[in-house]
Amino acid sequence: MSKAKRSIAFSRRVRRWLVEYWRSFSFVGLVFATLFFAASVTPSLLPRHYVTQGLLSGFSIAAGYALGVLLVWIYRFFELPHAPQKLQQIAKIATVIVVALCFVGGIRQMTFWQNSIRELMEMPSLQTADPYRTSAIAIVFAAVLVALTRMFIDSSVFAANQLNRFLPRRIAVTLGTILVTVIVWVIANGVVIRGLVNFADGVFLKADALIEEDIDHPSDPMACGSDESLVDWDSIGRQGKAFLGQGPSADEIGEFLDRDVPQPIRVYVGMRSAETPQQRAELALKELIRVGGFDRSVLVVATPTGTGWLDPSAVDTLEFIHGGDCAIVSTQYSYLPSWITILVDPKRSIVSADALFDVIYRYWTDLPVDDRPRLYLQGLSLGALGSEVCADMYTIFEDPIQGAVWSGPPFPSQRWNEIVRDRQPDSPDWLPVYRDSRLVRFTAAKNALNPSRPWGAMRNVYIQHASDPMIWFSPTLAWHRPDWLTEPRGPDVSPYLRWFPVVTFLQVAFDMPMATSVPIGYGHNYAPSAYIDAWTSVTEPDQWNDDFSRQLKEKFKAKGTPKP
């Protein structure tokens, strides 16, 4: 056979295979896949790049196809009656037309929907959201996911057929499915997922060990990380060094307040500074005592994010508000981003925060009440999750702390969830009012703390954005419409965001890794102005007024705020 004939024969075989492969797809499955694609390009909490949108839409197509196939299987399993052939043909034609219109409508509206979010977040509008690139990526990725699923099913059938030689059919099918599931789980969890986690772990470990050129080794013997310090500078980690070396100086604070102020105290213990959370906490206490942290008017136990980062918007503003007469202590528990840590080991922050608070609180309670600092908690993201748990009301009942400022509490935060669930019925999820507001208050980018209402003995403030996916993600999004989508919705949430089963779950899940990719004041990026409002309300500083707050907000807005 000549080369040309072989080429023609090969082309025919490929075409025949493609036709047979296309015919192997379920019509109902393809209908649901297309509808899920159209739903996936609608807006969620954050704007998305076309590559991210393509992957999200690919997942949605695969999920929709699987749902359609499952519904067909259930229909056949119960042996329900089939419609007449002519009616089926008419229904198919009508369905194809409706689904095609949904697909085309989604493609045409993609740019408009993305810009509806960008406009709210003061981001430049897109000329195009690249719908055709998105569609191509989505189709290819969905095809891969469907192919992998078919491989799993074929493997289960093969295993069942082999076992059926020795066992009854139903037992063979059950055992075959279980066997293949276990093998896939071991490979996925033990090789793929663990490999990805170990890779990320190694990358972020190296990043944590990097030495920033603009951060000098402290020369002040009273500074944490100095030669006289109990904490070795090289063990602290990149984010810890940034926290210790880049805060405002006494001169900068004094210039703003027009008076002499002390140098703020900062203590940070890195993961490599001691082996266990308990040892790191005890080392932090010793260092805090050494540098005189308990001699200040305000002491804050801060829990960092997953990377070990402490938001300058939170800590720098506090030091200005209290004229440097404050101390902040923190210990690192991870160097992975919060959204990874929360999936791998969310209890890390709780264990670390609990250990640090316990040693600090026990020492603090032994001090004379009239000769000790006011004690507060602070945490952002995973830090908020750990921080809110450590100050258990039963633990601090006899000698309560003065309060806390928490921002961006992630969705597993148990105490936050309880408070939001028990809010006053007429208050929204994204800005709840809890009981009489004497113990806990919520605020957002715009101050909602209501200074005219009296506080109780302990003052706790949550700062949260309606557009923060770290807060609003939940597995229940797959089947339940969330309260935060009821009216009135948050000012930073697109009016075109709609809840779709399964799809909204995937959308918000894909939003989480990008939670800090938007401007300050949106998503998981909390603005200095929100912290200034929170700290002044919670700590009620001396020698402070609304003019100082306004000037401090302008100062931080002018100099910009770094992201993690």
Q: How many CB atoms lie within 10 A of CB 69?
A: 20
The mean pLDDT of the chain is 90
Domains by residue range for the chain, with CATH: 10-149+472-514 (no CATH), 210-468+515-559 (3.40.50)
Q: Which residues of the chain have pLDDT under 50?
A: none
162-206 residue pLDDT tens: 888 888 888 888 888 888 888 888 777 666 666 666 676 666 666
The answer to whether the beta carbons of residues 231 and 244 sit under 8 Å apart is no
Instruction: Note the pLDDT of residue 347.
Output: 86
pLDDT at 194: 66
pLDDT in tens, 339-395: 777 777 778 899 999 999 999 999 999 999 999 999 999 999 999 999 998 877 777
Tell me how far apart the alpha carbons of residues 105 and 111 are, in angstroms, rounded to a whole number: 11
| Angular region, 434: left φ>0, alpha ψ -120 to 50, beta rest | beta
What span, in angstroms and rounded, lies between the C-alpha atoms of 442 and 463? 6
| pLDDT of res. 563 | 64
Of 377, 562, 559, 380, the closest CA to residue 468 belongs to 380
Q: Which helix (H) or strand (E) holds 436?
A: none
> What is d(CA 66, CA 149) in angstroms, rounded to the nearest whole number?
9
Taking the alpha carbons at both ends of the chain, their separation in whole angstroms is: 65
Calpha distance 472→335 (Å, rounded): 23
Pairing status of strand 326-331 against strand 265-269? parallel
Q: Which pLDDT does position 359 carry in this prediction? A: 97
403 by DSSP, 3-state: which? strand
- Residue 461 · residue 448 · CB < 8 Å: no
- Distances from the Cα of 142 to the Cαs of 139, 159, 187, in angstroms? 5, 26, 21
The pTM score is 0.91
